[in-house]
Amino acid sequence: MNTRLKAKKLENYPLKEHTTLKIGGNAFEAYIPDSVKEVYEIKNSLACENLTIIGQGSNILVSSQGVQERVIFTRNLKNYEFPEQTIVKAECGLKSSNLAKILLEKNLSGLEFLVGIPGSLGGAVTMNSSAHGQAIEDTIESVEVLDLSNNNEIFTLNKSDLKLGYRDSFVEKNRHLVLTATFKLKKDDQSKIAERMDFHVNYRKQRHPALSIHPNAGSTFRNPCPGVFAGKLLEELGAGNWKKGKAAVSDKHCNFIINTGNATSLDVSRLMHKMHKSVKDVYGYDLIAEIRYLGEPTREEKEIWQNFTVH
């Protein structure tokens, strides 16, 4: 490795406390860059395709066996600027909820829904996050990305290049790391923006298990089609009392899996398998996982995840 790298390097680094599900083994090697330039330097210096990216650690299940790939934490990449009054450019590690609050102070509307999302902006763009009539695709203009596969150059993708779909994008399918994202927003009355943000926060408080009490990774499966909700299907199946080891389906929202105490990635995987199989057997829907598995799977986990992962 290039010894001139400025980014902090950590070896055999525990990942458990850096995920909202509070599950995960150790990373063989981890880096915490403080700038986009340092991310580029890490990628260029390591000269390998095997990189795992972790932002705020939401929407992921990290293997209890750990991660052999090098891990890059983007949580320190949280700078932002306003090139124009209604345009914001922000780095990938900025918390989605923090960006929403920043825009509130500027009287800018379009991303209010981000206030209720626990992840980072990079993850929100990659998954084309959305809620209650608002979505990343509505306001995004462009992103700067780094190809994690082979190309070491940083380049720009416009909105049309991103091919944004439901919980999907070009960068998701092609192992690109979103470094910065630029959005064009609209001016609005601050009280109206705050009211919409309050709606999103209160909706999640009422409908979703609280992260502070019940560690979780957000929605487990994508909704199978417009108007059909995975959580509702699972609720009808009585999934609210299903458990595997220390992993349990939340009785508050049946598309959430909670860690009731020292759950393993295998506990979660087995519970996901039961959820997926039950929905498919009864309703015929082949659910796709919304959360992502990172790290070294056991043989059983690998077999399980092949059932509901997009290849």
Q: Which of 219, 250, 265, 269 is catalytic?
A: 219
Kind of pairing, strands 134-135 and 67-73?
Answer: unpaired
CB contact at 8 A, 123 and 77: no
Q: How far apart are CA 196 and CA 180, in angstroms?
A: 25
What residues form DSSP beta bridges with 289?
A: 221
3-state secondary structure of 220: coil
Q: Which two tokens stand for residue 216?
A: 């979780």
290 included as an active-site residue: yes
Q: Which listed residue (58, 91, 120, 167) is catalytic?
A: 167
Q: How far is CA 156 from CA 95, 146, 149, 153, 232, in A?
A: 22, 9, 16, 10, 39
DSSP state of 228: B
Residue 269 is among the residues annotated as catalytic for this protein: no
Burial of 33 (0-12, 13-18, 19+ CB in 10 A): buried
> Tokens 């509307």 sit at which residue?
109
Positive or negative CA dihedral for 119, 279, 202, 210? negative
Active site (annotated) includes residue 120: no
- The catalytic residue among 29, 112, 144, 290 is 290
Spatial distance between the Cα atoms of 255 and 203, rounded to a whole number of angstroms:
15
CB atoms within 10 A of CB 229: 16
Which are the catalytic amino acids? 167, 219, 290
